[in-house]
Chains A and B, each alone.
Chain A
Amino acid sequence: MNTFLPYTLAGGALVILGLTGFILHRHLIRRLLAFNLTGSGCFLVMTGLAQQGQGVDAVPQALVLTGIVVAVSATALALVLIRRWYHLTGLTGLPEDIEPELQQGDNPAEGKTQGAPH
């Protein structure tokens, strides 16, 4: 078996896990983490898949290298936006994700603290 195949498959698994987490989580930082997991999965798929056929390949490696740096800047920018959002509204999620839960009223304490700034 190829050395690179398990990592390619792991990359695919990471993409799926990250996407699912991104959809199901509401806390913005958790979503950011899930998003980063998806990104890492993409990097793994890119490198692993390219190297399976032809051996070590510098081209995807170079692309992923810049990708890692761009990913950290995207993460930092997202964190700045999340903190700004929290500073302005006191929320750690998006309103459309939180509203239905307030209507359901399954967690009144949470609803009160989170809805206060509105």
Chain B
Amino acid sequence: MIDLLLALTLPLVALGVLLARELFRAVVMFIAFGLLMALVWVRLQAPDLALAEAAIGAGLTGVLLLDALGHLRQPHPPGQPLRSLLPLLTILALVLAGALGLVLLGALLEPLQPSVNLPAEVALHIEASGVAHPVTAVLLAFRAWDTLLEVAVILVAVVVGLALRFSHDDAAAESRVSSPLLQGMLSWLLPLMLLVALYLLWIGSYRSGGAFQAAAVMAAMLVLLRLSGQQLPGQNHPLLLRAGLVGGLGTFLLLGSVQLLQGGAFLAWPEQLAGAFILLVETALTFSLALLLYALFEASPAPARKGHPPRTGDQPS
């Protein structure tokens, strides 16, 4: 019953996102959608995903979108969000969507006949992985290659973002809010957020939690710090920042090649020390991913001068 209700709400909120007249409303609906997704992950018995979605889907993405909206003050008409170029194209798109819907419905109702029982496989080999939580075991032992490459993908995104940045100073300057209450509260909240992040990192080895969730909380902490106008320690040391950005991937690669030296496979952890190696990699990943996610926020370029968009590419800073 509750599943039906929640599953029905999800597409309705998505429709709200797509049909909202104002862009701001669409973004707020999207944040609500992220929160709903977190609830859905709980119902799907994926608390790891719920944690990540609550911090990232609802928190970080929302901040990013709202920040971008603040800089895109443009004379775009608010009405008729779905008005298309040609009526013919609209009809065509809707027909194709309907056809795709029918195909998907048929495919999704068909029960899967997998040749390998993955949950059983995971349960069988979890002893050897060095950790007790299946999701962490998959992430950092069974499918460590995927995780490694995904961290690399995020690093590439951040590098491109930083390359497109206009200047250091005025990135988020406009959105700073100063308030004595905020400053007072931050000194309470920030240590608590750090504690929560480290707790998530630590329990990842035997329960829901781990590097990605901890990094999301830590990145949220950094963004909060930045938005409140605080100076971050090491903010003006580009080298330090860059070292932090590549630190996670570097540690992952370095520790992954330890077995390589002894004739083993890449990313195969030493048998006795697997747990310790995974914890080390996770710790490095947490701090590095937090910085990466924060740098994505920071990488947003300077606001456009109102009414005077520059004609050609202007010089950075």
**A pairs with B:** yes
Q: Which A residues fall within an 8 A CB radius of B?
A: 3-4, 6-21, 23-27, 29-30, 33-34, 36-37, 40, 43-45, 47-59, 61-66, 68-70, 72-77, 79-84, 86-90, 92, 97, 100-101, 107, 109-110, 113-114, 117
A28 smallest CB distance to B (angstroms): 9
Residues of A within 8 A of B303 (CB): 87
Across the interface, do B146 and A66 meet the contact criterion of CB distance under 8 Å? yes
Q: Which B residues fall within an 8 A CB radius of A?
A: 3-4, 6-8, 10-11, 14-15, 17-18, 23, 26-27, 30, 33, 37, 40-41, 43-46, 48-49, 52-53, 56-57, 60-61, 64-65, 68-69, 71-72, 74-77, 81-82, 84-86, 89-90, 93-94, 97, 100-101, 104-105, 108, 111-114, 117-120, 122, 134-139, 142-143, 146-147, 150, 153-154, 157-158, 160-161, 164-166, 212, 215-216, 289, 292-293, 296-297, 299-304, 309-313
Residues of A within 8 A of B37 (CB): 40
Residues of A within 8 A of B299 (CB): 76, 80
B20 smallest CB distance to A (angstroms): 9
Across the interface, do B81 and A58 meet the contact criterion of CB distance under 8 Å? no
Residues of B within 8 A of A113 (CB): 74-75
Across the interface, do A62 and B301 meet the contact criterion of CB distance under 8 Å? no
Residues of B within 8 A of A56 (CB): 45-46, 119
Across the interface, do A9 and B81 meet the contact criterion of CB distance under 8 Å? no
Across the interface, do B97 and A20 meet the contact criterion of CB distance under 8 Å? yes
A10 vs B216: C-alpha distance in the bound complex, in angstroms?
26
Residues of B within 8 A of A37 (CB): 14, 17-18, 30, 33
Chain B residue nearest to A7 (CB atoms) is: B7
Across the interface, do B52 and A90 meet the contact criterion of CB distance under 8 Å? no
Q: Contacts A66-B150, A76-B161; is A19 near B100 (CB within 8 Å)? A: yes
